[in-house]
Amino acid sequence: MRRIIAPMLLVFPVLSAPLAGQALSFGFAGTLGGDWSIEAGEFGVVLPVGVGPLRNVSGSVRAGWFGDNRTSIISHQRGFVSAFALGLRSGTIEVFDVGGEGQSTTRIGFDVTLEAAGYLTARSPFPEGDRWMSAAVLPAVRIGQDDAMHFAILLGPVWFLGHPTEAHPFLGLRIELPLAHTRGGP
């Protein structure tokens, strides 16, 4: 019975929240530098929360491989990596917008995501072993229109919590597609 309840507790908030403000997210998640890097595709859901400075919560899954940065210009693959990540995102501080009056404007701004992830791997070259956790602080540049597709570039430190604990630069490229649009006009 517990096997049925756990997935339902994860899916229920998505199904019970109104579609306005929700988005599907997909993109690339990886580490930079060092002898080995993680290169993974990512798919997730973003939900609005509006609690203090926090504006969104997200959950995503990642699947990819380890790349060997020592042996070739194009990374050599070794092992498989998968992860489940939970993120809390601040509100976006708009820097400027592009577009004329009466037209849809593209907004460019900054925000910060705090992210925790659990990893499960096969043939891991990392000293943490086949299972570990990570924590990341990811400043982002976000580009997009209200109630339309958004692009984000996230770059910040990630700490792999294991034995030993290591820090690596993290790069995320994400596209968010809203699940509902608000209607404008009369």
User: For 102-148, how does the pLDDT look when each residue is reduced to its tens digit (9 = 90+)?
Assistant: 677 888 999 999 999 998 888 777 766 788 899 999 999 999 987 78
Number of domains in the chain: 1
In this structure, are residues 129 and 162 in contact, taking their beta carbons and an 8 Å threshold?
A: yes
**Residue 18: inside a domain, yes or no?**
no
**Residue 8: inside a domain, yes or no?**
no
**Residue 17: inside a domain, yes or no?**
no
For residue 19, what are its two tokens?
């579609």
According to DSSP, the residues that pair with 79 across neighbouring strands are none
How sure is the predictor about 12, in pLDDT bands with cuts at 50, 70 and 90? Answer: low
User: Does the model's pTM come out above 0.85?
Assistant: no
Nearest Cα neighbor of 39 from 87, 81, 84 is 81
How sure is the predictor about 185, in pLDDT bands with cuts at 50, 70 and 90? Answer: very low
d(CA 44, CA 120): 17
**Residue 124: inside a domain, yes or no?**
yes
CA 113, 118, 121, 125 torsion-angle sign: positive
**Span 63-86, average pLDDT:** 76
User: For 161-178, how does the pLDDT look when each residue is reduced to its tens digit (9 = 90+)?
Assistant: 876 778 889 999 999 999
Residue 167 belongs to a domain with what CATH number?
2.40.160
**Residue 19: inside a domain, yes or no?**
no
**Residue 173: inside a domain, yes or no?**
yes
